[in-house]
Structure 1
Amino acid sequence: MNRQLPLAVELRPTITLEDFIPGENGQLLTLLKSIAAGKNGETLFISGASASGKSHLLMGLCSQAEQLGRSCAYLPLEQLHPLSPELLSGLEEMDIIAVDDVQHIAANPHWERGLFVLFNLAHGLRRNLIFSADQGPTHLPLGLPDLGSRLSWGSVYQLHPLDHNGLMELLQTQAQKRGLQLKPKVAQWLLTHCNRSPRNLLNLLEQLDQAALAEKRHNLTLPFIQSCLQHPPCG
């Protein structure tokens, strides 16, 4: 287990802040990079729809900060909420505490109390607390009003979805990272015919990468892509 992660949660090394396409979220990305580099005492709440990039930002923040020698705890509550909130004990000592998908513990009194205690301890030590959820802190169905109040103490950001140009950049950047050639007209075809959520597009690129590897090719031509996809295309 990574000594900087007190929980058995692995960060995917391929996820970085540098890979995040900011679109209209440039101010938030700049702030997260400053936290990774050593800024202390920040409390942030990031809201956004599913697959909007919240987990990417939190995991990328922790990965980048760890490379710079900072201690981090990444807490994906979608996975952790069936466990005891006692696992939060001692996390206030981490430089950065990133709590992902807070909506999964809403209305759970034990978890809400655990997060409330962790928040107070970490805030008193000027640690960085970054939360995410599918909606803003004032709209979460929390049973503990004081927790909702705490989550609103710092900056609250709502992620803006990527526009067409941002999605084009995402496809081409990620294809290049995998050593693949994806021409703009082919990327345009994918955006026209496929589910445009960033998560789906990245899963699709992974599928195409595996197929290209099997055929020992790098150029993702339109005929090749069409031959790889089942009907209806791209899910």
Structure 2
Amino acid sequence: MPPASSRDDFLTTGANRDALAMLDAPERWPQGRLMLIGGPGAGKSHLAGFWAAERDAQIVQGWTLNAGNVDELMPMGGAVVVEDGHEIGGNPAAEQGLFHLWNLTGARQGLLLITAQLPPRDWGIVLPDLRSRLDTAAQAVLPPPDEALLPAVLVKLFADRQIQVAPEVVDWLALRMDRDLDLARRLVAAMDRESLADRRAITRRLAAELLDKLAPPDA
């Protein structure tokens, strides 16, 4: 089943509270634009998804943009989410599309939220006018999870798969794995597959085996 992705399902801690507060105050976004930046699995799509749902905003993948398809995305006073903005750099059509969408946001008094794994300076943007605009955009950053967020995310990932896991397994993992939400997703998925394939319970032993495979100690 798909992961729970409503606002109520978003796990808020000190690691992401500031980004959420900034997302919820679009009246403070300079000229209605905001960059939401964080590593893989940091929660960008979750945040952007419920933000878009609450504002009837369209969501589009950055690499699909071009100058011919963005006009219909941004109605007067509308809102658009561009996902994976870091994939736009070096794609001439997508760069032109984002540049046009950026300008439409101001002209139509709309809101533009762009998610990305990296800040714009690292996207490899070729179009000078777009690069200069992105460099001045406000940024909300999702840092790596803190010690409160990681175990809560593990519990949610197991619950999304309807898996019951003993609390000591979650606590054991949270103490030993890197604070990496993408690793947490891959680890829970691997434990789910392994337990189903071999009809094994999810124990600390299984968790340790798969953690060593996915994130060896000397990696």
Task: Provide the TM-score with structure 1 as the length reference.
Answer: 0.70
Q: Is the 8 A contact 2:42 2:144 kept in 1?
A: yes
Measure, in 1, the Cα distance between the counterparts of 2:78 and 2:157. Answer: 30
Q: Is the 8 A contact 1:16 1:60 kept in 2?
A: yes
Gaps of 5+ in 1: 1-11
Q: Is the 8 A contact 1:20 1:57 kept in 2?
A: yes
Give yes or no for the alignment of 1:86 onto 2:68. yes
Q: Is the 8 A contact 1:42 1:154 kept in 2?
A: no
Give yes or no for the alignment of 1:21 onto 2:8. no
Could you say if the C-alpha distance between residues 77 and 114 of structure 1 is closer, same or farther in structure 2, counting changes exceeding 3 Å?
closer
Q: Is the 8 A contact 1:17 1:33 kept in 2?
A: no
Deviation at 1:194, TM superposition (A): 4.9
SS at match of 2:124: coil
Of all paired residues, the percent bearing the same amino acid is 26
Match of 2:145 in 1: 162
Deviation at 1:208, TM superposition (A): 4.2
Could you say if the C-alpha distance between residues 46 and 60 of structure 1 is closer, same or farther in structure 2, counting changes exceeding 3 Å?
same
SS at match of 2:18: helix
SS at match of 1:164: coil
Corresponding residue to 2:56 among 47, 71, 80 = 71
Match of 1:113 in 2: 96
142-151 vs 192-201, which moves further = 192-201
| RMSD (Å), alpha carbons | 3.6
SS at match of 2:68: helix
Deviation at 1:120, TM superposition (A): 0.9
After superposition, what is the alpha-carbon deviation per residue over 1:96-154, rounded to whole angstroms, capped at 9, x for unaligned? 21112222121333321221111111222221101122322344322222212333454
Could you say if the C-alpha distance between residues 17 and 203 of structure 1 is closer, same or farther in structure 2, counting changes exceeding 3 Å?
farther
Could you say if the C-alpha distance between residues 58 and 134 of structure 1 is closer, same or farther in structure 2, counting changes exceeding 3 Å?
same
User: What does 1:183-194 align with in structure 2 at a 5 Å threshold?
Assistant: 183-192=166-175, 194=177
Measure, in 2, the Cα distance between the counterparts of 1:231 and 1:195. Answer: 10
Gaps of 5+ in 2: none
Task: Provide the TM-score with structure 2 as the length reference.
Answer: 0.74
Measure, in 1, the Cα distance between the counterparts of 2:120 and 2:212. Answer: 38
Deviation at 1:205, TM superposition (A): 2.8
